């Protein structure tokens, strides 16, 4: 029988844990840093920050009731958004907690020095020594007991209430003059800075498995502690601003102690110092403990090397994860200024809370099992508000936090693509839902492409185009047009030297011109679609092809792959230029391998000869609807089979392969022609040995293909946007 954790934490314990996780450097240190950014409006900054945390608090409360098990933001984001964003969230939370621990230590030592005076040169070594001692404490497994944590919270709250009550009578309204002197920008920047003060509000979610009646106590505990702490913060900062001069607050790292010296006397200063040291050491210890568990958890989920998840045989602690976290913490303390530590701690926490809000949307809109007993109100606007305001805060906090957040995203993405993607097969609820919706859009676009009426195909040939190659082009064009009740135009482009007047060349009827007209007329009789033909005399075949395609309002321009007869200049790749500038889709037909038709011309039904198997291949995401429609048209007219070959990477997960198989099934419900399907891994073979293969211009081809290949280059109007294409590749 599996062992479970006893649910013995009531509402009071939930509130105590949440408040204890919040109260620390956010109120003992940050007011001194934030007041220089927002002035007296720092009071409002704390209130606004508390409000902006609310969406993430509601979202996490909802997910905690759906998954009441031990874990944190990383777990919810990884399950909801998938391993990629889970990797980013894990790194972001790890760095946020590490920075928060560093901030607590850097800010806690000045309070300690109010009791014991030491030379300034000793401050940094003392801070590093305290940090190293806490790392050792975590390595050997010692930790604060629950009762000690409750006692620390009780002491802190008693001192803070005394601070507010004793200082309120000394508040001077004149100190609030010029409340918005720093403008909205200062308020927003200060709000972002103090945001980390509320980071612990969702701490209880990590012990959700031990909370009794979690459906009730988790949301009530989170929201109650957030409301209480927000009010307490606002009152404390209001007393600071109202009692002390702003310049005084901004030049100290012990703002509460300095104000207490004015309002409460020596006894009050001693109480504040004791509370601050207890709170900050507790915060730093919790930061090391919590942050070291993220690489440990990510190792368990195979997102980072397994060595980070190793547990020491004798100590029973994840020594590698703690050691790595401790080393990073010491580097932060030694080399990063306290203001930047505070900003980066808040920035990473904002990024994680943005993902927390997005994770709720992923769970609700996805098809994963998700049954929370508490649901965040005003969905999805609550989550949208949290995401938007979080991103706005990030952009207003300055260059360092913005670069730090971008760096975490970039490093997380690079790490996932380079390492984690090969290790995991999980997918988040968001990926599945996005894949479903992208697949539905693709199928609808395929239906539209299949039902397009009056499909007009322009075949471009040159003076040097062999008759058998022209026959192949015309028959492909005729079959594509016939499936849509369209027609074919065949144009021969006669390229003349620049020295020859075009008017003169147009009047001269050469034997080659007569042979073209006679042969094309014969082809027109062989196919069952309207065929028109003519000649264009030009100095530049590539420009002429594009202009004629525009004049004919063509849907598809069909050329030979090597551009036979389209010589427009010794330094220009004419076919590529035509692809880039044509007003329609462009198809180019290779002349490799088996012939497409009986060159004797004996057939008169317009079919491609012995084409029995057509293979549509994709190597860069889902099949283009235009390519599918063209393949289906050619297969239907020739009574052939259209096979689908989806080429994937070596490390594609079985779950993604299953999703592609389901996508193949949906396509089969839309197209008319039968055939096989294959999710082809490298060296995994091919679906069949086809008589004709269709690919997109972006698909690389195997060198060993022997059949003719029709390459389709989509016009911009049929090409998905870069974002859509990225989305397709990520989901499929």
User: 540 is in which domain, residue-wise?
Assistant: 447-731
Q: Cα separations (Å) of 333 from 80, 130, 146, 197? A: 34, 11, 28, 19
What CATH number should be reported for the domain holding residue 721? 3.40.50.12370
CA–CA distance, 465 with 90 (Å, rounded to integer): 61
In a domain, 437, yes or no: no
Closest by Cα among 688, 705, 686, 467 to 593 = 705
In a domain, 724, yes or no: yes
Closest by Cα among 85, 647, 115 to 420 = 85
Q: Give residue 542's pLDDT.
A: 84
CA–CA distance, 535 with 537 (Å, rounded to integer): 7
Q: Give residue 241's pLDDT.
A: 92
Q: Are residues 404 and 454 in the same domain?
A: no
Q: Give residue 209's pLDDT.
A: 57
- Count of CB atoms within 10 A of residue 186's CB? 20
Q: Give residue 701's pLDDT.
A: 66
Spatial CB neighbours of 495, under 8 Å, sequence gap ≥ 6 = 462, 463, 538, 539, 540, 541, 565, 566, 567, 568
Q: Give the residue with greater pLDDT, 144 vs 443.
A: 443
Q: Are residues 181 and 107 in the same domain?
A: yes
Contacts 24+ apart (CB under 8 A), 720-724: 724/438
DSSP state of 681: P
Q: Are residues 351 and 462 in the same domain?
A: no
Q: Which two tokens stand for residue 331?
A: 């580097």
For the chain, percent of residues with pLDDT exceeding 90: 14
Q: How confident is the model at residue 423 (pLDDT cuts 50, 70, 90)?
A: confident
**pLDDT, averaged across the chain:** 81
**Cα torsion for 252, 258, 259, 264, to the nearest 10°?**
170
Contact 392, 350 (CB under 8 A): no
Torsions phi, psi for 141 (to 5 deg): 95, 0
Among 204-213, 225-234, 380-389, 529-538, the range scoring the smallest mean pLDDT is 204-213
CA–CA distance, 466 with 66 (Å, rounded to integer): 69
Q: Are residues 360 and 460 in the same domain?
A: no
Q: Cα separations (Å) of 276 from 29, 122, 156, 272? A: 9, 20, 8, 6
Q: Are residues 532 and 400 in the same domain?
A: no
Say which residue the tokens 């009730």 belong to.
216
- Count of CB atoms within 10 A of residue 391's CB? 14
Q: Give residue 253's pLDDT.
A: 81
Q: How confident is the model at residue 271 (pLDDT cuts 50, 70, 90)?
A: very high
Q: Are residues 481 and 402 in the same domain?
A: no
For the chain, percent of residues with pLDDT exceeding 70: 87
Say which residue the tokens 């100290």 belong to.
252
Q: Give residue 205's pLDDT.
A: 63
Concatenated DSSP letters of 415-463: HHHHTGGGT-----HHHHHHHHHHHHHHHHHHHHHHT--S-EEEEEEET
In a domain, 439, yes or no: no
Residue 600 has pLDDT above 60, yes or no: no
Residue 410 has pLDDT above 80, yes or no: yes
Residue 571 has pLDDT above 70, yes or no: no
Q: Give residue 504's pLDDT.
A: 55
Q: Are residues 235 and 271 in the same domain?
A: yes
CA–CA distance, 14 with 341 (Å, rounded to integer): 29
Residue 221 has pLDDT above 80, yes or no: yes
Say which residue the tokens 């690919």 belong to.
695
In a domain, 545, yes or no: yes
Q: Are residues 675 and 550 in the same domain?
A: yes
**Cα torsion for 535, 539, 542, 548, to the nearest 10°?**
-40
Q: How far apart are the first and last CA of the chain?
A: 39
Residue 597 has pLDDT above 50, yes or no: no
Q: Region 125-151: what's the mean pLDDT?
A: 72
CA–CA distance, 286 with 296 (Å, rounded to integer): 15
Residue 564 has pLDDT above 70, yes or no: no
Q: Tens of pLDDT along 366-396? A: 767 788 888 999 999 999 999 999 999 988 8
Q: Give the residue with greater pLDDT, 213 vs 717.
A: 717
CA–CA distance, 255 with 42 (Å, rounded to integer): 13
Q: Are residues 474 and 404 in the same domain?
A: no
Strand-pairing partners, residue 533, are: 490
Say which residue the tokens 């007219």 belong to.
637
**Which spans in 571-721 are helix H?**
574-581, 625-637, 654-668
Q: Are residues 543 and 414 in the same domain?
A: no
CA–CA distance, 220 with 185 (Å, rounded to integer): 33
Spatial CB neighbours of 142, under 8 Å, sequence gap ≥ 6 = none
CA–CA distance, 91 with 357 (Å, rounded to integer): 17
Closest by Cα among 423, 135, 429 to 299 = 423
Say which residue the tokens 């994680």 belong to.
352
Contact 131, 280 (CB under 8 A): no
Spatial CB neighbours of 576, under 8 Å, sequence gap ≥ 6 = none
Q: Region 237-246: what's the mean pLDDT?
A: 90
Strand-pairing partners, residue 558, are: 459, 587
Q: Give residue 457's pLDDT.
A: 92
- Count of CB atoms within 10 A of residue 1's CB? 3
Q: Tens of pLDDT along 284-319? A: 777 777 777 678 778 877 888 888 878 777 777 778
Can the peptide bond before residue 380 be classed as cis, meaning omega within 30 degrees of 0?
Answer: yes
- Count of CB atoms within 10 A of residue 645's CB? 24
Residue 143 has pLDDT above 60, yes or no: no
Residue 593 has pLDDT above 80, yes or no: no
Concatenated DSSP letters of 153-199: HHHHHHHHHHHHHHHHTT--GGGGTTTTTTHHHHHHHHHHHHGGGGG
Cα within 13 Å of Cα(627), Cβ side = 32
Task: Please state whether beta strands 641-647 and 677-680 pair in parallel, antiparallel, or not at all (unpaired).
Answer: parallel
Residue 28 has pLDDT above 50, yes or no: yes
Q: Are residues 60 and 173 in the same domain?
A: yes
In a domain, 442, yes or no: no
Residue 273 has pLDDT above 50, yes or no: yes
Q: Tens of pLDDT along 81-92? A: 888 888 888 888
Query: Which helix (H) or strand (E) covers residue 507, if one does?
Result: helix 502-507
CA–CA distance, 111 with 253 (Å, rounded to integer): 8
In a domain, 103, yes or no: yes
Q: Which two tokens stand for residue 363?
A: 């769970």
Q: Tens of pLDDT along 660-682? A: 888 889 998 888 888 888 888 77
Q: How confident is the model at residue 573 (pLDDT cuts 50, 70, 90)?
A: low
Contact 584, 663 (CB under 8 A): no
Say which residue the tokens 């498995």 belong to.
209
Closest by Cα among 101, 95, 25, 96 to 285 = 101
CA–CA distance, 349 with 56 (Å, rounded to integer): 11
CA–CA distance, 112 with 208 (Å, rounded to integer): 35
Helix (H, G, I), strand (E, B) or coil at 45: helix
Q: Is 658 exposed, middle or buried (0-12, 13-18, 19+ CB in 10 A)?
A: exposed
In a domain, 435, yes or no: no
Q: Cα separations (Å) of 244 from 33, 84, 235? A: 15, 48, 14
Q: Give the residue with greater pLDDT, 503 vs 457.
A: 457
Q: Region 34-46: what's the mean pLDDT?
A: 92
Residue 46 has pLDDT above 90, yes or no: yes
Q: Give the residue with greater pLDDT, 62 vs 116.
A: 62
Q: Region 268-282: what's the mean pLDDT?
A: 86
Contact 141, 316 (CB under 8 A): yes
Helix (H, G, I), strand (E, B) or coil at 495: strand
Residue 577 has pLDDT above 70, yes or no: yes
Q: How confident is the model at residue 598 (pLDDT cuts 50, 70, 90)?
A: very low
CA–CA distance, 278 with 280 (Å, rounded to integer): 6
Contact 24, 156 (CB under 8 A): no
Contact 512, 463 (CB under 8 A): yes
The total number of structural domains that make up the chain: 2
- Count of CB atoms within 10 A of residue 386's CB? 26
What CATH number should be reported for the domain holding residue 132? 1.20.1740.10
Q: Which two tokens stand for residue 180?
A: 């918005």
Residue 604 has pLDDT above 70, yes or no: no
Q: Give residue 144's pLDDT.
A: 46
Q: Are residues 276 and 362 in the same domain?
A: yes
Residue 171 has pLDDT above 80, yes or no: yes
Q: Region 345-363: what's the mean pLDDT?
A: 89
In a domain, 3, yes or no: no
């Amino acid at each position: 029988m599996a062992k479970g954790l006893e649910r013995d934490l009531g509402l009071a314990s939930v509130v105590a844990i949440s408040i204890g996780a919040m109260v620390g450097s956010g109120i003992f240190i940050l007011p001194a840093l934030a007041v220089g950014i927002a002035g007296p409006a720092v009071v409002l900054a704390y209130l606004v920050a508390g409000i902006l945390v609310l969406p993430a608090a509601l979202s996490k409360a909802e997910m905690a009731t759906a998954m009441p098990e031990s874990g944190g933001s990383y777990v919810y984001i990884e399950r909801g958004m998938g391993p990629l964003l889970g990797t980013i969230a894990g790194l972001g939370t790890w760095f946020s907690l590490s920075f928060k621990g560093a901030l607590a230590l850097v800010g806690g030592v000045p309070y300690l020095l109010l009791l014991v005076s030491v030379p300034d040169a000793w401050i940094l070594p003392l801070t590093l020594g305290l940090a190293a001692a806490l790392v050792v404490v975590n390595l050997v497994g010692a930790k604060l007991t629950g009762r000690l944590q409750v006692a620390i919270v009780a002491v802190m709250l008693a001192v803070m209430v005394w601070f507010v009550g004793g200082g309120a009578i000394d508040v001077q309204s004149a100190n609030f003059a010029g409340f918005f002197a720093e403008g909205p920008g200062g308020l927003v920047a200060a709000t972002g800075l103090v945001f980390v003060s509320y980071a612990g509000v969702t701490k209880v979610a990590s012990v959700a498995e031990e909370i009794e009646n979690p459906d009730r106590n988790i949301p009530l505990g989170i929201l109650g502690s957030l409301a209480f702490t927000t009010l307490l913060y606002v009152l404390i900062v209001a007393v600071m601003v109202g009692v002390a001069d702003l310049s005084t607050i901004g030049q100290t790292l012990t703002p509460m102690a300095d104000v207490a010296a004015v309002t409460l006397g020596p006894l009050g200063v001693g109480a504040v110092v004791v509370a601050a040291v207890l709170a900050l050491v507790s915060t730093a210890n919790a930061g090391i403990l919590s942050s070291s568990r993220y690489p440990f958890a990510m190792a368990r989920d195979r997102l980072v090397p397994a060595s980070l998840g190793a547990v020491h045989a004798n100590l029973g602690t994840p020594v590698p994860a703690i050691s790595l976290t401790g080393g990073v913490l010491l580097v932060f303390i030694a080399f990063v200024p306290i203001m930047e530590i505070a900003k980066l701690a808040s920035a990473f926490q904002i990024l994680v809370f943005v993902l927390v809000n997005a994770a709720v949307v992923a769970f609700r809109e996805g098809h994963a099992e998700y049954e929370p007993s508490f649901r965040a109100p005003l969905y999805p606007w609550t989550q949208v508000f949290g995401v938007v305001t979080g991103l706005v805060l990030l952009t207003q906090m300055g260059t360092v936090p913005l670069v730090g957040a971008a760096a975490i995203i970039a490093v997380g993405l690079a790490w996932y693509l380079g390492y984690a993607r090969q290790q995991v097969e999980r997918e988040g609820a968001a990926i599945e839902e996005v894949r479903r919706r992208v697949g539905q859009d693709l199928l609808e676009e395929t239906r539209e492409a299949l039902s397009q009426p009056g499909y007009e195909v322009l075949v471009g040939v040159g003076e040097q185009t062999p008759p058998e190659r022209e026959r192949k082009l015309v028959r492909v064009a005729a079959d594509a047009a016939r499936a849509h009740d369209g027609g074919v135009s065949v144009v021969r482009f006669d390229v003349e030297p620049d020295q020859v007047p075009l008017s003169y060349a147009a009047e001269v009827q050469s034997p080659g011109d007569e042979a073209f007209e006679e042969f094309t007329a014969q082809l027109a009789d062989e196919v069952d679609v309207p065929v028109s033909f003519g000649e264009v005399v030009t100095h530049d075949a590539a420009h002429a092809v594009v202009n004629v395609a525009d004049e004919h309002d063509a849907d598809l321009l069909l050329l030979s792959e090597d551009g036979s007869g389209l010589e427009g200049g010794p330094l220009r790749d004419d076919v590529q230029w035509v692809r880039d500038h044509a007003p329609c889709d462009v198809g180019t037909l290779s002349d490799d391998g088996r012939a497409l038709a009986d060159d004797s011309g004996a057939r008169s039904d317009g079919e491609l000869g012995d084409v029995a198997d057509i293979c549509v291949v994709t190597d860069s995401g889902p099949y283009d609807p235009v390519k599918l429609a063209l393949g289906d048209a050619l297969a239907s007219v020739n009574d052939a089979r259209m096979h689908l070959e989806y080429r994937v990477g070596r490390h594609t997960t079985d779950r993604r392969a299953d999703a592609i198989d389901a996508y193949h099934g949906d396509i089969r419900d839309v197209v008319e022609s039968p055939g096989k399907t294959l999710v082809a891994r490298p060296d995994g073979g091919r679906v069949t040995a086809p008589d004709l293969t269709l690919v997109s211009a972006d698909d690389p081809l195997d060198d060993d293909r022997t059949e003719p290949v029709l390459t389709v280059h989509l016009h911009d109007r049929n090409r998905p946007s870069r974002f859509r294409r990225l989305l397709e590749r990520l989901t499929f």
